[in-house]
A and B are shown apart, each in its own frame.
Chain A
Amino acid sequence: MLFWQMAWRNVWRYRRRTLLTVLTIALGLAFGILMRGIGDGFHEQMVDNSVRAEIGHLQLHLRGYHRDPSLQKTLPDATLVEQAIRQTPHLLGYSMRVLGDGLASTADNSAGVAVVGIVPEMERTVTTINRAIVAGRYLDQGMNRPILIGERLSQTLDARLDDKLVLMVQAADGSMGGQLFRVAGIFRSGSPELDRGVVYILRTDAQSLYSLDSRLTEAALLLDSSESVEPARRFLAARLSSAPVEILPWYVVAPFLEQFIELDDAFFYIIVVILFFVISVGILNTVMMSVFERVREFGVMMALGTRPRQVVRLVIQEAVVISLAGAVLGSLLGSGSTLLVESTGIDLSRWAAGASAVGITATVIHPTLTFANLAASNLAVVLVVLLVAFYPAIRASRLRPVEALRHV
C-alpha cells in the first residue's frame, strides 16, 4: 500500500513531464479509437449497402449452385424452404427469385445481361432497387411484361422508357426462348455491375421465358443486422438439414467485400503499430529519466532492505499510474470524438464517383464505438507501457547499493 502511495506521488513529482507523457498516451489512444470507429463504420456501411442493394444477408440455393450456377439448379421443395425462412429469427424480409442470363437487344444494340425474376412486393422487403428508380416506375404485378434496366444499360442499348426490348435466352429445356419486354423503369443503384448488366422482370415472366414452370432459383433474406447472420444461418441449416440446400452468408456470396475489409484492417494495424512504437519511445525516455534521477534514492531504499524485486515493482507501479491516467483520458477523448462524429457523420459524396468505380457505395459514414474496440485499445496501451517500463525497472533493481549511494 505504501508502495502505491510512493508510486503515485513519484509520478506527480515532475508534473509537467508526467502530464506530457500522459497526454502523448491519451492522444495516441484517442486517435486509435477514432480511426477504428471510422473504419468500422465505413465497413458496416459498405456491407449494408451491398446487402441492401442486391445480395441480402443470406442466400439459399440448390446445393452446388454457387460454385457452378446453371438454370437447371433450382431450389428443391420451395414450399418447405419458404416455410423455414418465414420462421427464421431476426428476419426483416425475404425474396424468392428466378435467376438466368440472356441477351438483351434493341434495334441498335445487344448486350449480355443477368436476368432476375422477382415478385416486386417481396423484393422490396430485401433490396432497395425500388428506391433507386430514376425514370419510370418500379415493377408492378399488374404490368404487361415490364422490365427494369440500369442507367448504363439503357445508354448502351439506347433503350428509353416504354421502348421495346428483346430478351433472348436459352431455356431450361435447351430451346431458345425470346420474349419482348417493355422498359417500365430505369434505375441508378450506384453499383456499376448492376447498372450495366442486371435487368429485373416479373418472376412469372421469367419462369415462362426460361420454361421453368414454378421453379425458383434463389431465396435472399434480409436480417436486422449483420450480427444476426450466424444465428439465422444456424437456424436454417438445422431446419433444412434434410434438403440439399446451400445457405450462404453475404461474405461467401461477395467475398471481395470481406477481403477488402481485411485489407483495410491490416493497414489500420500497421498504422497503430507505428503509433505505439512512437509513443513507447516517449514513455521509455520518461521512465528512464525518472529512474536515473533517483539512483541515490534507490540506493537508500535498498540499504534499508528493499529487495530488487520490490524495486522493479515500484517502477512498474509508476508506469501503471501513468498508463492508466493516459488510458482514461484517451478513452474519454476517443469515445467523445467518435460519438460526436457519429452523430454528424462524415460526408464522402465528394469522392463518391471514384469510390463507386471500385464498388464502394458508402457515401456518409457514421463511426461506431464498440465496447470491444475500447477495451482492446486500452489493454494494448497499458500492455505497451508496462512492457516498455520493464527495462528501466530491471535496470534500477540491478543497481548496486554501494555505487547507488555514491551517486549524487
Chain B
Amino acid sequence: MLFLLPLVIALSAAESPDADTVARQCDAALKGKTQIGAASMTVHTPDWERTLEMKFWYDYPDKTLIRITAPAKEAGSGTLRLGSNMWMYLPSVERVIKVPPSLMLQSWMGSDFTNDDLAKESSLPTDYTHSIDGETTVDGDACYRLVAIPKSNAPIVWGKLVLLVRKSDFLPRRQEYYDEHGTLEKVLSFDQIRRAGSRNYPMHWRMVSVRKPGHQTDLTFSSLEFDAPVPPGIFNQRNLERRF
C-alpha cells in the first residue's frame, strides 16, 4: 500500500494549487509570449451599434499594436503601446496623438473595454495579490474563484477583480470588475473555447456593463497565432501611420 502514498500526495498537490499559481497560469493561458491575429468588435449601446474590424500584434509584456481595418471612417486608425506610453493615430487628421495616462481608463474607441484593457499594460500576476475563495461551475466547467486585489502602488482603479478560472487548463470563464466600494461595474465572459494553434482559447469575449444597462461589447477572434516571432518594425509610430 505504501507505494500508493506518493501517488496520493502527488494527486492532492495537483488538486490544490495556491492562488498565485492560479493567477500566473491564467495570465499565461490568455497571453502567451506573443499574439498576432484579427478580430471583430461590436459595440452595443441603447442609442447605436457599431462593428469594428481590427488586426493586432502583442509582444508581452511591453508592446502592443492594434489597427482598425473597417469600417471606412475609422479604417487606418490605430493604437500603439510601448511600455507605459500610448499613442493613437487618426487617419482623418493624419496625426499621431499621445494618450495621457489619465485616459488609460477611458473607453477604447467607444467600447466597454478601456484603453488599459486592450493595451494590457497592467498584469494580473504582478499588480495584484491573490486568494482563492472556493469553487464554482460555469457551463459545466469546474472553476476556481480567484479574488485579485490591486497592490497599493498599482495604477488600477478597480477595488477588486474576481476571476472564475477553469481548473482543467486555467482559462478564465468569467471576470468580474468591482469598484472601490465593492459595487460590480462590469462582467467579462469568455466562451467558444476552441483550439488555436497548440492551445485552447476562448474565441468570443463579451463585456457587459452593469453600471450602464444596455451597454455591451462583443469581441470575436477570427484568426489567432501564438508565440510566433513578431516581424521587426511593427511596434513604432511610423508603422502606426502606415497606410495599408
Give chain A's interface residues, CB within 8 Å of chain B: 72, 103, 105, 108-112, 166, 168, 170, 172-180
Pull 12 A–B residue pairs with CB atoms less than 8 Å apart, ordered by A.
Answer: A103-B103, A105-B95, A105-B97, A105-B98, A108-B98, A170-B107, A173-B50, A174-B50, A175-B73, A177-B92, A178-B95, A179-B93
Report whether A103 and B97 are in contact in the complex, using a CB–CB cutoff of 8 Å.
yes
Which residues of B33-54 are within 8 A (CB) of A? 43, 45, 47-50
Q: How far is the CA of A168 from the CA of B108 in the complex (A)?
A: 12
Q: Which residues of A contact B64 (CB under 8 A)?
A: none
Report whether A112 and B102 are in contact in the complex, using a CB–CB cutoff of 8 Å.
yes
B74 within 8 A of A: yes
Q: Which residues of B contact A176 (CB under 8 A)?
A: 73-74, 77, 90, 109-110
Q: Give how many B residues have a beta carbon under 8 Å from the other chain's beta carbons.
A: 24
Q: Which residues of B contact A111 (CB under 8 A)?
A: 100
Instruction: Among B50, B93, B100, B102, point to the contact of A166 (Cβ < 8 A).
Output: B93
Give chain B's interface residues, CB within 8 Å of chain A: 43, 45, 47-50, 71, 73-74, 77, 88, 90, 92-93, 95, 97-100, 102-103, 107, 109-110
Could you tell me the distance in whole angstroms from the C-beta of B108 to the nearest C-beta in chain A? Answer: 10
Q: Which residues of B contact A170 (CB under 8 A)?
A: 107, 109-110
With A175-B74, A176-B109 known as contacts, the answer to whether A109 contacts B98 (CB < 8 A) is yes
Report whether A109 and B100 are in contact in the complex, using a CB–CB cutoff of 8 Å.
yes
Q: How far is the CA of A345 from the CA of B110 in the complex (A)?
A: 52
Report whether A178 and B92 are in contact in the complex, using a CB–CB cutoff of 8 Å.
yes
Q: How far is the CA of A176 from the CA of B48 in the complex (A)?
A: 13
With A166-B90, A168-B90, A178-B92 known as contacts, the answer to whether A110 contacts B45 (CB < 8 A) is no
Q: Which residues of B contact A168 (CB under 8 A)?
A: 88, 90, 97
Q: How far is the CA of A177 from the CA of B102 in the complex (A)?
A: 20
Given A170-B109, A174-B43, A176-B110, 11 further pairs, Cβ under 8 A:
A108-B98, A109-B98, A110-B100, A166-B97, A172-B48, A174-B48, A174-B49, A175-B74, A175-B110, A179-B92, A180-B93
Instruction: Among A72, A110, A179, point to the contact of B98 (Cβ < 8 A).
Output: A110
Report whether B110 and A178 are in contact in the complex, using a CB–CB cutoff of 8 Å.
no
Could you tell me the distance in whole angstroms from the C-beta of B112 to the nearest C-beta in chain A? Answer: 12
Q: Which residues of A contact B88 (CB under 8 A)?
A: 168
Q: Which residues of A contact B45 (CB under 8 A)?
A: 174
Q: Which residues of B contact A174 (CB under 8 A)?
A: 43, 45, 47-50, 110
Q: How far is the CA of A110 from the CA of B43 in the complex (A)?
A: 25
Q: How far is the CA of A263 from the CA of B99 in the complex (A)?
A: 41
Q: Which residues of A contact B71 (CB under 8 A)?
A: 175
Report whether A72 and B47 are in contact in the complex, using a CB–CB cutoff of 8 Å.
yes
Could you tell me the distance in whole angstroms from the C-beta of B61 to the nearest C-beta in chain A? Answer: 24
Q: How far is the CA of A178 from the CA of B47 in the complex (A)?
A: 20
Q: Which residues of B contact A175 (CB under 8 A)?
A: 50, 71, 73-74, 110
Q: Which of B73, B77, B97, B100 has the most CB of A within 10 A?
A: B97
Q: How far is the CA of A112 from the CA of B49 in the complex (A)?
A: 24
Q: Which residues of B contact A105 (CB under 8 A)?
A: 95, 97-98
Q: How far is the CA of A324 from the CA of B1 in the complex (A)?
A: 112
Q: How far is the CA of A111 from the CA of B102 in the complex (A)?
A: 9
| Closest residue on chain A to residue B111 by CB atoms | A174
Could you tell me the distance in whole angstroms from the C-beta of A110 to the nearest C-beta in chain B? Answer: 5
Could you tell me the distance in whole angstroms from the C-beta of B79 to the nearest C-beta in chain A? Answer: 11
| Closest residue on chain B to residue A111 by CB atoms | B100
Could you tell me the distance in whole angstroms from the C-beta of B31 to the nearest C-beta in chain A? Answer: 26
| Closest residue on chain A to residue B88 by CB atoms | A168
Report whether A110 and B99 are in contact in the complex, using a CB–CB cutoff of 8 Å.
yes
Q: Which residues of A contact B43 (CB under 8 A)?
A: 174
Could you tell me the distance in whole angstroms from the C-beta of B210 to the nearest C-beta in chain A? Answer: 17
Q: How far is the CA of A175 from the CA of B72 in the complex (A)?
A: 11
Report whether A180 and B103 are in contact in the complex, using a CB–CB cutoff of 8 Å.
no
Q: How far is the CA of A170 from the CA of B103 in the complex (A)?
A: 14
Q: Which residues of A contact B98 (CB under 8 A)?
A: 105, 108-110
